[in-house]
Amino acid sequence: MAKTMAKTESLSPKRASYNGPIIELQDVNVTFKTRTGSIFKPNRVHAVQGVDMKLMPGKVLGLVGESGSGKSTTANVMCGLQAATSGKVFFRGEEVTKRSAADRRKIGRVVSVVFQDPATALNARMAVRDQLMDPLHVHKIGTRAERIARVEDQIQKVGLPHSALDALPGQLSGGQRQRVAIARALSLSPDAIIADEPTSALDVSVRAQILNLLMDLKNELGLAMVFISHDIQTVRYISDTIAVMNSGKVVEQGPAKELLENPKHPYTQTLLGAAPSLLHPDLGTSKA
């Protein structure tokens, strides 16, 4: 008796036209219990407090703030990795606050994540080719021939030679590993990428290259992006809109140029007047 072939999705799915926010947060709060306190009265950390935020198609939303400000937790809510304690989360206009398995799969198909440290984000024992193929296999996308072609195209898109496909992550430099991580994030033809401090683990000389690559891909593919950093000078280069976070709250939010030329909140003013940019001079003039 012949085996039933598993149904596969197209490599380039036709998604319904949608002009509203890809992701929207409404009064989102995230609270964690800590190990201190007692079973009767546990201590709680309010990681995110009353956050309203929208990620629009083809735009870059920059999240900036010091470590512990709530940036990464907010981003994890946006991509379905973290549940909101209260508030509402919408994905392409549909509420997904409860994060059902179907919701997480739907979001994971269209929103990809690039993590801070490619050394830990990639499997050290798996060849690059297999790591790029894995998301396509998990989501049952394309035929084997189509998957092979997609992987070869993606490695070229991020500026790596074909030979990198047969390498292990440990045989690549930090910048090359982050390019692999970006290629993997692009495998599913996402509408949006969440880049969580994607340059902070890299040498200064490599940061500009990765930022320029992200900008080129954003423009070429029409991607939306959430770009997270503690360096406001990096965020100003790449972002259309900026949200400044402090102690779990958005203290200021608006168009990048307007916010940076006329910051109203004292915390934003402090960030702008603090440490010099972590960018390499080769990056050129900031976007804002």
Element (H, E) at 153: helix 144-157
pLDDT of residue 28: 97
Does a structural domain hold residue 145? no
Does a structural domain hold residue 169? no
Distance CA 205, CA 247 (A): 31
The stretches in the chain having pLDDT less than 70 are 1-18, 36-42, 275-288
- DSSP readout, 173-201? -HHHHHHHHHHHHHTT--SEEEEESTTTT
pLDDT of residue 121: 86
Does a structural domain hold residue 148? no
Write the pLDDT tens digit of every residue in 22-45: 999 999 999 988 776 555 566 788
Does a structural domain hold residue 249? yes
Count: domains in the chain:
1
Does a structural domain hold residue 7? no
| Closest to 134 (Cα-Cα) out of 146, 151, 155 | 151
Q: Which domain covers residue 100, as residue numbers? A: 23-118+190-283
C-alpha dist (Å) from residue 114 to 96, 125, 178, 246: 22, 19, 8, 23
**225: domain CATH number?**
3.40.50.300
**Helix, strand, coil fractions of the chain, as percent rounded to 5:** 40, 25, 35
Does a structural domain hold residue 50? yes
Does a structural domain hold residue 17? no
Distance CA 286, CA 101 (A): 40
Does a structural domain hold residue 87? yes
pLDDT of residue 105: 82
